[in-house]
Amino acid sequence: MNHKRLLAQLATLILCVLLTHLSFAQNKVITGKVTDSTGSGVQGASITVKGSRGGVQTSAEGTFQISVPPGATTINVSSVGYDSQEISIGGQTNISISLIETNATMNEVVVVGYGTARRRDLTGSVSSVQAKDFNRGQINSPQQLLQGKVPGLQITNSSGQPGGITVVKIRGNNSIRAGNTPLYVVDGVPLDGRSPRPSFSASGVGQTPGGDPLTFINPAEVASIDVLKDASASAIYGSRGANGVILITTRKGSSGPAKLEAGATVGFSDVMRKVGVLDAAGYRSALKQYNAPLSDSGANIDPFQSIIRSSLTQNYSLALSGGNSNGKYRASFLASDQDGIVLKTNLKKYVANFNGQYKFFDQKLSIDFSATAANVAEQIAPISQNAGSGGNLVSLGLIWNPTLSLYNRNGTFKQTNPSGQVNPLALSAAYNDVTDITTILGNFNAAYKLTPWLEYRLLYGLNYGTAGRNAEIQGWIRATGGNAPGNGIAAVLNNKLFSQTVTHTLNFNKKIVEGLTLNALAGYEYWKTNFSGNGSTVFGFDYNLDQTKLIDIRYFNNMQDGKRANLNTFSFKDPSVEIQSYFGRAVLNYKDRYLFTGTFRADGSSKFGKNNKYAYFPSAAVAWNITNEEFMKDLTFFNSLKLRAAYGETGNQEFATDAALDVYRYNSNGNSELVHPGNPNLKWETVKAVDIGLDFAVFKGRIYGAIDYFSKTTNDPLFLNPLAQPGPPNGASIFVNLSGSSITNKGVEFGVGADIVQTAAFNWSINANVTLVKNKFIYPPSGTSPLVFTGALNGQGTSGAFSEAIAHNQPIAVFYVNRFSGYDKDGIGIYSATPQYVGDPNPSTFVGFTTDLSYKKLALNIGTHGSFGNKIYNNTAMSVLNISNIIGGRNIASGIVSTPENTANAITPSTRFLENGNFLKVGNVSLRYNFGDVGKTIKGLSLFVSANNLFVITDYKGFDPEVNVDKALNGIPSVGIDYIGYPTQRTVLFGLNFSL
Amino acid sequence: MKFRNKFILSFVLVSALGCTKLEQKLEDSFTSSPTSGNADVTALLNSTYNSMNGLMHAQDQLFSLQETTSDEALIPTRGGDWDDNGVWRVLHAHTWTNIHAQFKSVFNGLGGLESSAITTLAFNPNATQAAEALFLRTIAQFYFLDLYGQVPYRNAQDYNAITPAPVLQPKEAIDTMVTTLTRIIPLLPATNVPYRASPDAARFLLMKILLNKGAFLNRQTPVFDNADMQQVITLGQAIANSPAGYSLTAKYFDNFGPENSTLSKERILAWNNSGAAATNGINSGGVNARWMSTLHYNSWDQKSGSAGWNGFTTVADFYNTFGASDTRVGGQPYPGVTNISGLKPGLVVGLQTNQAGVALKDRQGNPLSFTSDVKLIEIDKNRLEVAGIRVVKYPPDYNAYDGGNQRNQLQIFRFADVLLMMAEARMRSSTPDAAGALLLVNQIRLARGATPLTAITLVDANNVASPNTLLAERGREMYFESWRRQDLIRFGVFLKKWPLKEADSDPVRNLLFPIAPDQLLANPNLKQNPGY
């Protein structure tokens, strides 16, 4: 090969020059080899003689030959990514030197789009988290593994419900639309991002929140997660890359004899934090204070406590793996059963995974496959996100009169509350709602090395999800409103989601000329997804209408008993979405100093309007490994210093699948309508992003980190725009790319890690990250008026109320309510005349902090995360716990009895219910004792105890400031609104792991 | 295989696979055009009728804009209830701003109705279907003009356009509507049932347009053209002599009760709610909002706690304009209602009892007794739930009290209004015919059990509640039927002081509702109304 010859010649030349100059001093020649910790030769390591000038570099095999003057005693060996070493020459003429990686992260392999890269070669902003650094404890979806770990990543558990949605945003809100979720790619297969779990909304009870689409992944089988944050890294994902990309790599087998790993955890959960309401005594004295004695019913109960419980969690996992250099396999199983802290809530998971990697034809052909089958079942409580205060179990627990018994004397549920509330225990008993989601994720991957530097790869991936949901409210319930009381209602719902990917790639990796390597990728991808569903609802059953005469037959298993006239059936099938893409990437590396990456992707989507079928997404990035420069040789303080700059464009195509077409529909009873007119110009929104970053490692690599400045601008944002009237009745809004509008997200993120103490017995390392981000929506034509509203508020007396707006020059979903300035002489609230922009629901700062301590076999990990600078609208306090409740015989928040507020004060959305959202949460604590091998058979035994959501430090008065109840209005998502959600659970787990 | 061949092969493979056309196929719906022939114009017309659903019956749509902004209706804020971010209060007090969900949703609702009609017209309807669609389009245009003073429209060929729509100014809009209605009257089947367009419904709408024309063109000082007034009278006579045989219903509340589809003789356009399957796909839904929105939580002890929403009230000044014997004020037992819940329809005031005469209680255990006085913001906790006279125009259908298909048809165009419009036209003629008007008014009063008036004037500009005026008579006959605001503007008193409202300070602003900012952005042809 040319470059080797060239290098050899170069080395010879240098040697000759050296020899020429030094030959008179009777120099001694030393030969040797420099290797890394695995024994492979290290190319390009520099060998210098202490006290003299000049030096040599090692060959591709790591060998060197150097001439040393007679007085020299020491040679210095250094190479990027390794600790420098001084070797005493003594009498040796042949020296073997093993270098130690200074900072493993610089050499680690990072998964990037359609391939891998060494971290040192990266030009973009990519964060990689390995399994050993994941959050521990009870993890229900893989996003939770990363919470607080990655700068720029804001991860919010939207509720405490087991399996509830974990919201992930990378570097702010790019979109006005719901599509702020990153693209998830599991072992190369891009996921649809939706969950097939049907939603259920019963009149009077409202709609319960959705489930997380990634619960089917076994978190213990995740080997690493790579987060592509800037456009240089994510632009290769084109029209789906705008919100960043999260690449999940699952664990694979390794060479060696078969290994069986087993793990078990058992634990308990309770409520992390309660909302302060009056107890019976406090309520009684409040009734006196407000002169409403009729509401004292004599009992002393804690209604909230009656609907929550201390609950049991169990997880069992097993994995079998092994292999040799030509074939590896891994099979794993997880069984998990988690009771929620609210009555009749549960998450059950069974996940099996089998994967293998096999090589043929002298390892030229490699075949990889992976199959995951998962069943996730939930039992759901009636904790809806949009009920009036009547129908939500948690709100009922909070507002039920604490002097009114929940039971009648004969032991039945009391259903005659004079103030009309539903008995929370009765609602819990009468409500049954179960989902069952089966997911199959499979991929088949074949790669063939056409030449040592050219590889062809085929990937076929499929993701199939089918979900059923059965729900009933038994007819003996009273006062929920809707059709349930006296009738009983039931629903049987099914959805199906099926997506497939075919990817062809050619990977080229070659040294072009000395010092210059080209790593190039060309590919084609076809992705298709289908979503369909059907269901029936009915009310009017003949049994379970009297709580003293119950039979244990669910309505949903006996739908035919429902009154035929009340039967409603439906089905839907979305048009297939097809995306066809051509993409390429070129990475040029010049002497490990100068790096250039260029990517390009063309995406065609069946969703786009006919005038905009193809979208093009370029990116370019450069990086400069400063430490590899000659002038840095003596600056040993820096073990690594890399400056990066990137620009790229990515897209987002999250809009209704049929939005580009005129859509007509036949409805029941001889009706047909134009549902919405099509927008033939509809296209993706484009995020143009700049990232400038600096990676560093100092103090022999013991302190390392990165700082990035980013600036992103969303152009042609997708927007559900009001249609100029006249327009179809149901199509009052259509999807457009709002011209003249943009969304900007600018900020800085900083992550640093430090290995503070590294001794044989005691190790202490910390990791910290902080992200500052500022978000703004720009649309000059709308002036100072809000463009649209979001942040729907619910509860008695607040019909149609909202709290947030999308407005020019304001952050996305800025709070837009009246300012509250106290009470007048009658105790009636005083408000500004008109609503004002009063706060930002998006945190300006979010932080993560992890510390790992180990002493001999004992290890302690603590993970905390927090966010600052945002407001939360406490809709719970506004609607559920307001002072007028006391007249209505409902409970109130404990703080308001001391205010001068009149019981007749209207419930007015205002800054009164806007609270600071600042918090710092100790989300993860784990203490582990590694016994190591026990006897001959048991290996790597460890026992541990872990805690999730240990406590939170905040002034916020709701259950948890880490909250995001979905209060979208007209399809515009809300941010930072709390409305009687599922309380956050604190879970303590005890567990053990071992292998055979 | 040589490397070169492999290389070429793989590229050929990759390119060959990359030829998907990306055409989208709808699976549960379809795409269509007037020429493709796969859309059914009959079904499109049915949907056009149904796009009035909600717009006409819901308590927070057209009904609210026409009634709660007037002297005869208000929704007080009752402590924790019915504040709804102040939306109701500002309507009665005339202190609204350009951001109000109801202004926006009514505007969009009217646009939906008009668009559905235009779409029907685009899909090659026959002459009758076209006439029906044009009638429905005119209803939308009429209310656009009445409420917002501007009429966005599209030509039939632009039925699916997403571009800004052209806008008709009042004069053009009136000309378009008058021409259209005049043309379709002979084309509409006289045999059409009252929930479909008929010649009489078109005549009625034309009467409304001509009668209001002077106000539509000059809201501050309406000027009425004699020729228009004479045409109103002629059209009214045509309706009165129609083969449909309208007459004043013997018992006033039979016009609104659960049996009104057979008992009422006044239904010119009445919205059916007996279930779409029974009525060729046309159904209104949700008439129960008319009683639920005003009745107390405990008004029917069988549904205690959720028997009503405890919202809408009227004021004593309105109540007091009724004479003692006037049956329209209510307070008399109504069969099928009073014997079931104790409720006596009409204006409901004082102690409420159940069907057995036992006093009902409010949620605090006090006797449920509606007070005649009311404040915009009630703060006395003993009055919160009971303040205000309730208005139950539609005697409830207890078989579908809070859900399902109430049999009550929603009256949209009613015959008594024809007589009142004729009376008004006589009084507004260039030679006012007060005697002729009085004859018509007393014809109604007689049927309603009220004593005949001896003299009548149009309006008392200094006292909106003055009883012996045609405006007051319209109030007594047509209350809570979605006409009051329009009447007050036509009679020139919409900006005057009345109970719980001061005289409007701006001489123009409140005569039209504002156009929502998002519509202004979507359609630059719309101009914000003066004062906003």
Query: B98 CB near a chain A CB, below 8 Å?
Result: yes
Q: What is the mean pLDDT of chain A?
A: 88
What percent of chain B has a predicted confidence (pLDDT) above 90?
75
Closest CA of chain B from A275, distance in Å = 21
Could you give the residue ranges of the DSSP H alpha helices within B188-314?
A: 199-217, 226-240, 260-263, 289-292
Confidence at residue A969, expressed as pLDDT on a 0 to 100 scale = 85
Residues of chain A contacting residue B78, judged by C-beta atoms under 8 Å apart:
797, 904
B84·A506 Cβ contact <8 A: no
Query: B399 CB near a chain A CB, below 8 Å?
Result: no
Residue A18 pLDDT > 50 = no
Confidence at residue A2, expressed as pLDDT on a 0 to 100 scale = 46
Tally of CB atoms within 10 A around A94 = 8
Residue A203 pLDDT > 60 = yes
Give residue B212's identity as a one-letter amino acid code: N
Q: What is the pLDDT of residues A165-187, one digit of tens each?
A: 888 999 988 888 766 889 999 99
Least confident among A51-65, A709-723, B147-161, B186-200: A51-65
Q: What is the largest CA-CA distance in chain A?
A: 113
Question: How many whole angstroms separate alpha carbon A28 and alpha carbon A55?
Answer: 14
pLDDT band at A6 (very low <50, low <70, confident <90, very high): very low
Residue to test with chain B: of A662, A725, A834, most B Cβ within 10 A: A725
B165·A726 Cβ contact <8 A: yes
pLDDT band at B160 (very low <50, low <70, confident <90, very high): very high
What percent of chain B has a predicted confidence (pLDDT) above 70?
95
Closest CA of chain B from A380, distance in Å = 26
Q: What is the pLDDT of residues B102-113, one digit of tens each?
A: 999 999 999 999
A294·B85 Cβ contact <8 A: no
| The two three-digit tokens of residue A210, written as one number | 């959705």
Residue to test with chain A: of B7, B28, B520, B532, most A Cβ within 10 A: B28
Confidence at residue B6, expressed as pLDDT on a 0 to 100 scale = 53
pLDDT band at A557 (very low <50, low <70, confident <90, very high): very high
Query: B492 CB near a chain A CB, below 8 Å?
Result: no
Question: How many whole angstroms separate alpha carbon A16 and alpha carbon A399?
Answer: 90
- Region A480-506 average pLDDT: 93
Q: What is the pLDDT of residues A693-702, one digit of tens each?
A: 999 999 888 9
B47·A673 Cβ contact <8 A: yes
Residue A14 pLDDT > 50 = no
Least confident among A93-97, A245-249, B204-208: A93-97
Residue A840 pLDDT > 60 = yes
Question: How many whole angstroms separate alpha carbon A244 and alpha carbon A550?
Answer: 52
| The two three-digit tokens of residue B445, written as one number | 């009063």
A725·B519 Cβ contact <8 A: yes
Confidence at residue B109, expressed as pLDDT on a 0 to 100 scale = 94
Confidence at residue A390, expressed as pLDDT on a 0 to 100 scale = 62
B87·A800 Cβ contact <8 A: yes
Residue A25 pLDDT > 50 = no
Q: What is the pLDDT of residues B487-503, one digit of tens each?
A: 999 999 999 999 999 99
Residue A37 pLDDT > 70 = no
Higher pLDDT, A86 or B151: B151
B111·A725 Cβ contact <8 A: yes
Question: How many whole angstroms separate alpha carbon A209 and alpha carbon A386?
Answer: 9
Three-state DSSP at A456 gives strand
Higher pLDDT, A465 or A159: A465
Residue A150: which residues within 8 A CB-CB, separation 6 or more? A127, A129, A227, A751, A769, A848
Confidence at residue B22, expressed as pLDDT on a 0 to 100 scale = 82
Burial code (b: 16+ CB inside 10 Å, e: under 16) for A240-255 equals: bbbbbbbbbbbbbbee
A903·B79 Cβ contact <8 A: yes
Higher pLDDT, B41 or A61: B41
A658·B165 Cβ contact <8 A: no
pLDDT band at A436 (very low <50, low <70, confident <90, very high): very high
Residue A354: which residues within 8 A CB-CB, separation 6 or more? A329, A330, A331, A332, A370, A371
Q: What is the pLDDT of residues A217-247, one digit of tens each?
A: 999 999 999 999 988 889 899 988 889 999 9
Residue A106 pLDDT > 60 = no
Residues of chain A contacting residue B111, judged by C-beta atoms under 8 Å apart:
723, 725-727, 732
Closest CA of chain B from A32, distance in Å = 38
- Region A442-448 average pLDDT: 94
- Region B336-360 average pLDDT: 95
Residue A760 pLDDT > 70 = yes
- The rounded radius of gyration (Å) of the Cα atoms in chain B is 26
- Region B259-283 average pLDDT: 84
B152·A726 Cβ contact <8 A: yes
Residue B66 pLDDT > 50 = yes
Q: What is the largest CA-CA distance in chain B?
A: 113
Confidence at residue B8, expressed as pLDDT on a 0 to 100 scale = 54
Q: What is the pLDDT of residues A363-413, one digit of tens each?
A: 899 999 999 999 999 999 999 888 765 678 999 999 999 999 999 999 999
Confidence at residue A23, expressed as pLDDT on a 0 to 100 scale = 39
Residue A396: which residues within 8 A CB-CB, separation 6 or more? A303, A307, A390, A421, A422, A423, A424, A427
Higher pLDDT, B328 or A51: B328
| The two three-digit tokens of residue A61, written as one number | 């095999």
- Region A547-560 average pLDDT: 95
- Region A603-608 average pLDDT: 91
Confidence at residue B277, expressed as pLDDT on a 0 to 100 scale = 64
| The two three-digit tokens of residue B399, written as one number | 């078989």
Question: How many whole angstroms separate alpha carbon A257 and alpha carbon A994?
Answer: 16
Confidence at residue A179, expressed as pLDDT on a 0 to 100 scale = 65
Q: What is the pLDDT of residues B232-252, one digit of tens each?
A: 999 999 999 999 999 999 999
pLDDT band at B518 (very low <50, low <70, confident <90, very high): confident
Q: What is the pLDDT of residues A761-783, one digit of tens each?
A: 899 999 999 999 999 999 998 88
Confidence at residue B14, expressed as pLDDT on a 0 to 100 scale = 52
Q: At what angle do helices B434-447 and B415-428 cross, to 10 degrees?
A: 160
Residue A834 pLDDT > 70 = yes
B85·A727 Cβ contact <8 A: no
pLDDT band at B13 (very low <50, low <70, confident <90, very high): low
Q: Which of A772-786, B32-46, B164-178 has the highest mean pLDDT?
A: B164-178
Q: What is the pLDDT of residues A939-992, one digit of tens each?
A: 889 999 999 999 999 999 999 999 888 888 888 889 999 998 899 999 999 999
Residues of chain A contacting residue B23, judged by C-beta atoms under 8 Å apart:
606
Confidence at residue A20, expressed as pLDDT on a 0 to 100 scale = 37
Confidence at residue A105, expressed as pLDDT on a 0 to 100 scale = 52
- Region A271-297 average pLDDT: 89
Closest CA of chain A from B387, distance in Å = 13
Query: B159 CB near a chain A CB, below 8 Å?
Result: yes
Question: How many whole angstroms separate alpha carbon A618 and alpha carbon A600?
Answer: 4
Q: What is the mean pLDDT of chain B?
A: 91
User: Is the whole model's pTM more than 0.95, yes or no?
Assistant: no
Confidence at residue B9, expressed as pLDDT on a 0 to 100 scale = 53
Tally of CB atoms within 10 A around A566 = 15
Residues of chain B contacting residue A568, judged by C-beta atoms under 8 Å apart:
none
Closest CA of chain A from B330, distance in Å = 29
Helix-then-strand count for chain B, H and E = 18, 10
